[in-house]
Structure 1
């Protein structure tokens, strides 16, 4: 049984803001939304690393600072949207800033186990890629890494954030894995893939399976630094175990200054339930019976 998403409400709240502002086309500009609330937005110096953004409060006035050291406009947009999540979501300002004057430092990017950071990440995804605008875009984008790249260009979001949102919205069986070296940072699976019985879900800090193109790709550091991309054929058993040998496509790309690798697993031809039942019946019909 698939657990309900505890953070879905944050994305829905962001989508309602987009609709309320009458925004009807992608991309959504988080700077414009901040300005409408008289929130000052400013980039941090390139040499200033260590966090993705900050929300500053001085009484009833707010300001947002965002990281620029990755030189990635998509990441910067997500960082601003993340801070807007802290501003808009009920209870966030009081939870992350003590009193009426102070500052909260964020590390956006779907890595934090903190509830408020996770909610702000989901808010940012919903704000920049609202479902009512994102669904039609997905239908036209194609498949695999190429589709995610098209959507990232359209939404002006990072490949990382776009890939995660893609798994949350697509009807197709797909998984994205972000890894660093031989270790999995995190994995997101679409609802269609989660329905496949008998597979193991990849967990944070697990090793990247050694017999995959991603493992070999990560052994060469310049692949990540230079944003090299690779398109290979893999097998679902290599990644998720189980008894089914299902051929899948494995696209891999280095994320440059981000220091990580994005893997997209797709073209997964899931067996129909009735096909499995027919196979079991066929095996049963050919199993010899011996008298005792």
Structure 2
């Protein structure tokens, strides 16, 4: 049984808005949508590092300020969409805007704050709405190459696109973000979550030592220079269990972000009949000795 996603409604709300706006093709333009609602969108001074975006209220008027200390258009588009999440999602404005009329957001997909998590999910659904993203995903291929193709189409970061990829694909896939020898976070597709007999990857776990990702992270220059490798590992390496099934492992450094993105895919799991047949063969060839 897979766990219910408490933030799924936020992505759905964003998708419904995109449908309602009559947007029928990617990429989605958060600047235009915000300004169409009378929300001024302005760049934030680059000296204000650490804050990715701000939602500002003056009376009944709103503005969004986005970070410029990171010169990255996908990052800025996601930050604006995140603030639109706070604007559109029920209860957010009253919950997040302080007495000074300002809410500050910080990037990273790592906050445990309910409202920040919901706004992140809104932003993903807003920029990559399932009804437009899924058909593109079906044409994009597999693994990191698919993520790169979708990121170029949606004008989103590799990181955000990889997460959305796991949320929308029908295939058993996972993405892992790591720093050095430790896992920062992991997202698994529903098809992979439903597989019996595997362990879910946890935050702060060690990167498995016999994987290409572990070898990649031994050299920080691989991360800084956004080096890419396409290798293989096994399902057992990453998820434990008894299936030593070979899987594809694509790895890329995320540059100034300081993290490594790993895409695990082409996980060809045997069906129930095949596993029963294999179990029968093992049983039939196991020698039995008299006591």
TM-score range, shorter chain: over 0.9
Deviation at residue 79 of structure 1 after TM alignment:
0.7
Q: Does the 8 Å CA contact 1:82/1:108 hold for their aligned counterparts? A: no
Query: What secondary structure, in the 3-state scheme, does the structure 1 residue paired with 2:209 have?
Result: coil
Distance in 2, matches of 1:12 and 1:39, equals 22
Query: What secondary structure, in the 3-state scheme, does the structure 1 residue paired with 2:184 have?
Result: strand
Distance in 1, matches of 2:194 and 2:28, equals 32
Aligned match of 1:7: 7
Distance in 1, matches of 2:140 and 2:9, equals 26
Map of 1:1-292 to 2, 5 A cutoff? 1-99=1-99, 101-287=100-286
Q: Does the 8 Å CA contact 1:82/1:123 hold for their aligned counterparts? A: yes
- How many residues were matched structurally? 291
TM-score scaled by length of structure 1: 0.95
Deviation at residue 108 of structure 1 after TM alignment:
3.2
Q: Deviations over 1:130-189 (max 9, x none)?
A: 000001000110001011000000000000000000000001111100111111110000
Q: Does the 8 Å CA contact 1:108/1:121 hold for their aligned counterparts? A: no
Query: What secondary structure, in the 3-state scheme, does the structure 2 residue paired with 1:279 have?
Result: helix
* Shift in alpha-carbon separation, 1:88–1:216, aligned structure 2, 3 A: same
Distance in 2, matches of 1:274 and 1:131, equals 33
Q: Deviations over 1:72-111 (max 9, x none)?
A: 2111111110000000000000000135x51111123321
Distance in 2, matches of 1:255 and 1:102, equals 34
Q: Deviations over 1:241-274 (max 9, x none)?
A: 1111010111111111111110001111111112
Deviation at residue 288 of structure 1 after TM alignment:
5.5
Deviation at residue 239 of structure 1 after TM alignment:
1.1
Distance in 1, matches of 2:68 and 2:181, equals 27
The CA RMSD over aligned residues, in Å, is 1.5
Query: What secondary structure, in the 3-state scheme, does the structure 1 residue paired with 2:15 have?
Result: helix
Deviation at residue 194 of structure 1 after TM alignment:
1.1
Q: Deviations over 1:112-137 (max 9, x none)?
A: 11100000000000000000000100
Distance in 2, matches of 1:29 and 1:230, equals 32
Unaligned 5+ residue runs, structure 2? none
Q: Does the 8 Å CA contact 1:55/1:63 hold for their aligned counterparts? A: yes
Distance in 2, matches of 1:180 and 1:80, equals 26
Q: Does the 8 Å CA contact 1:108/1:117 hold for their aligned counterparts? A: no
